[in-house]
Amino acid sequence: MDNTALQSTDVIIFVSSGLLVICLMFGFILYFLMSYRQKRKDYILLESQKQEIDQQKLKLEKTLLELKQTQAQLIQSEKMASLGELVAGISHEIQNPLNFVTNFAALNQDLMSELKEEVHNNNPEEVLAIVDDIMENEKKIQEHGKRAEGIIKSMLEHSRSGKGQKEMVDINVMCEEYIKVASEESKIKLGNLAGTYECIFSPETGKTELMKQDIGRVLLNLINNAFYATHQRWLAEQTQNPGYTPKVTIKTNRNPQIIEISISDNGTGIPESEKNKIFQPFFTTKPTGKGTGLGLSLASDIIRAHGGSITVQSEENIGSEFLIKLPFK
């Protein structure tokens, strides 16, 4: 009796264990199937998202390509517009002196015909008068010829700018060198009334890498303009303000990774209405024949090519200050 009960109990335990194993196996299989189905869904979702991302990537690449093409077209259009404006400016500026040269040359031809007649008529007084007119016309032809030559020379400087080799340059030494050169040039052109100059150099300025010839051209232009402005003010005030002393000042500073060069004067100043135009090609505040209007435009191009900036502060009959900022390297 007891053996039968024990056998039954063993059977029950065996069957229960088997059922438990079967349930566990079934549960594991069911979990695996559900996990597989979930992973399959996740995989399908990821594939869908990947396809969507790839499509978006293609759209972005296409948009970027279109933007680059549009940018290139805009740059080209801007270049062509600038070139057209520049060509128009050159044509206009050169046409004026050439018209004068042509007109005065035609006048001289007429005067030469009259001169022949007066020589045949043995009229020395009229001959001398005609010769004086011819000489005056020749002087004007020469003046306007030089103006056209100056415009062409400035344009050549534009085309050559930025093609030099960079070198380490001591800023203070360079500034002193060029203000001395400009001072001597001004004395030759304007006489001893060209004015004095002062150098205020910071010892911390040091050396930096730049194209010395190009920056020197900028300094010469600005300093020559400053001497010209002080001389013009002296001419205007020599009777009303006899105590006025023309002066040009050049300063250097480093702040902290920027080198500053300031060129200031106590000259005529720039009218408020013209400050925004002075860096435009062919715009000049000087009288006809005294400037090409390309000096400050060239200076601005050179400074920007060096990664710097040039600004101006000015007040009429007080003076002007041009501030050049160059990166310290």
- Residue 19: count other Cβ atoms within 10 Å of its Cβ: 10
Q: pLDDT, tens digit, for every residue of 291-316?
A: 544 578 888 888 888 889 999 998 88
**272 and 210 in a common domain:** yes
Beta strands 167-170 and 207-210, pairing class = antiparallel
Q: How confident is the model at residue 86 (pLDDT cuts 50, 70, 90)?
A: low
Percent of the chain with pLDDT over 90: 13
User: Could you tell me how far CA 288 lies from the centroid of its own chain?
Assistant: 26
**181 and 279 in a common domain:** yes
d(CA 132, CA 314): 44
Percent of the chain with pLDDT over 70: 78
Give the per-residue pLDDT at 323: 94
**320 and 193 in a common domain:** yes
- What CA–CA distances, in Å, run from 95 to 85, 106, 188, 326? 15, 16, 30, 37
**306 and 222 in a common domain:** yes
What letter would DSSP give residue 267?
A: S
d(CA 135, CA 10): 143
Give the per-residue pLDDT at 10: 64
Note down the domain range covering 302. 167-327
**86 and 174 in a common domain:** no
Q: How confident is the model at residue 154 (pLDDT cuts 50, 70, 90)?
A: low
Residue type at position 41:
K
121 part of a folded domain: yes
User: Could you tell me how far CA 217 lies from the centroid of its own chain?
Assistant: 15
Find out whether 219 and 293 touch, Cβ atoms under 8 Å: no
180 part of a folded domain: yes
Place of tokens 């710097």: 308
d(CA 281, CA 92): 12
Report the sign of the C-alpha dihedral through residues 241, 230, 322, 152, in that order: positive
**202 and 92 in a common domain:** no
In terms of phi and psi (left: phi > 0; alpha: psi -120 to 50; beta: otherwise), the region of 317 is left
* pTM to 2 decimal places: 0.54
Q: How confident is the model at residue 250 (pLDDT cuts 50, 70, 90)?
A: very high
**174 and 304 in a common domain:** yes
Pure H helices in the chain: 2-120, 124-160, 171-190, 212-237, 295-305
27 part of a folded domain: no
d(CA 98, CA 118): 30
Q: Which residue has the higher pLDDT, 60 or 199?
A: 199
Which of 160, 177, 194 lies at the terminal end of a domain, its last residue? 160
Q: How many domains does the chain have?
A: 2
